[in-house]
Amino acid sequence: MHFTYQLTVLFVVLAVGQTCLAENYPQFRGAHSNAVSATPLPVNWSDEAGEQTNIRWKKPLEGEGWSQPIVWDNRVYMTAAVPSHPVKKNSARPESNRGDYSRDRNDLVNVLYQYQVVCLDAASGKTIWKKTVKEGKPPLKRHNTNTYATETPVTDGKRIYAYFGMNGVYCLDLNGDVLWQKDLGVYEMRAGWGTSSSPVLFEDRVFIQVDNQEQSFLVALDTKTGEEIWKVNRDEKSQYSSPMIWMNSLRNELIVGGTVYRSYHPATGKLLWTLDMNKGRSSATPVAVGDRLFIGNELRNRGGDDDGGGRLYSIKPGGAGDITPPGDVRQGTFVEWRIDGSGIQMASPTYLAGNLYFFERRRGIIRCVDMDTGRLEYESRVPGARAFWASPWTDGKHLFALDSNGNTHVIAAGDELNVVAVNKLDQQAWGTPAIADGSIFIRTVDNLYCIDAGR
């Protein structure tokens, strides 16, 4: 039984107040970085024969991008990188759990790209406006499985902030006019993989994590002017997770991933606490449930310098300094519990009915953990699932997990795996969907779908 779950939910509801994400979905994984819908979502949008239903609209897309759409006041905003001539798009093989994970794309640095922000009508999918914020050749190569528009934009309902990695940050008004732009520099990334860390917004600041192979840093920019408010250097190499804001009962914290997780004061950039993840790699974003913060990273055992990781922590608020328990100790003053071998890789975790859910990238494995104790409730391969790159989402009754083939596996809440539906779309999907006002927005290689019950 999850005795603290109802109290935790009450805390979240009180913290959210009237600005509920049932209407808006302003950033990566929603207003509170948890991918939890306050409105029930459709469970079925295809049958066993693959016939589609509940599809409100399907919008063909230009160019490339794995960025998540965001939603505000019945508008959908998204980014894309559009090449001047056709290039081979992301080519993960549908039949493979690993995908085409073999090479970077050196050839693309000679291709002229338009970096675009696009605004669509959420009811119809029709284009309201499209703005090219930059045109030029990419400043660095990217991996075959990545894109030049992987970072998710963010909005405060007044402006849109789009980050295109080494191509800069752009602030637009809701009519598509560029208000300011900021060049954060060009830095080498690990193995030519490219970039993916999305910005996060809090109060009058937009925070951007720029981890790379040269000089990693975290920067806070003024939302109105783009001016730098503060910047802190980070002792990290290339990381791919996105920062998030933890609003707990003691204070607001800016949580940033890495081989060492760090908490910063959003107003000043002051370092509050650190948590050693025992190496590994960080691609997933943590999730907070009231006064609990769940942090995990990828287990690496391939003989490289970053072998290790695979830890999952439950963190309590109020930490200061190094909060890592020593040795094999699994609890501490600010650490509620730790489990090893968590396997959190690309897909960020989410929660449902007192359990925490997370997925392995390549093998289609789901793990369900009791949030109170860290006890593993179950570990299972999702039948028929391919790799999970997109992060899962929930609506209070079901867990939704989009695999790399574009199939969404709908899983019932509970301490055992119960897949109640599998919904198929036309092609692979690696980007995390958006959820708003009972609709699901799923981006595939070539299309954006709006899925809405009763359509």
Burial environment of residue 351 by CB neighbours within 10 A (0 to 12, 13 to 18, 19 or more)? buried
The CATH number of residue 194's host domain is 2.130.10.10
Q: Which domain holds residue 304?
A: 5-452
pLDDT of residue 200: 98
Work out the pLDDT band at 302, boundaries 50, 70, 90: low
Torsion from C-alpha of 253, 256, 261, 263, nearest 10 degrees: -20
pLDDT in tens, 249-271: 999 999 999 999 999 999 999 99
Residue 6 to residue 197: CA distance in whole angstroms: 32
Domain count, the chain: 1
Percent of the chain residues past pLDDT 70, beyond the cut: 88
Work out the pLDDT band at 341, boundaries 50, 70, 90: confident
pLDDT at 333 over 60: yes
pLDDT of residue 96: 42
Is the CB of residue 133 less than 8 Å from the CB of residue 117? yes
Residue 223 to residue 329: CA distance in whole angstroms: 42
pLDDT of residue 13: 38
Handedness of CA 18, 22, 23, 24 (dihedral sign): positive
pLDDT in tens, 56-75: 999 999 999 999 999 999 99
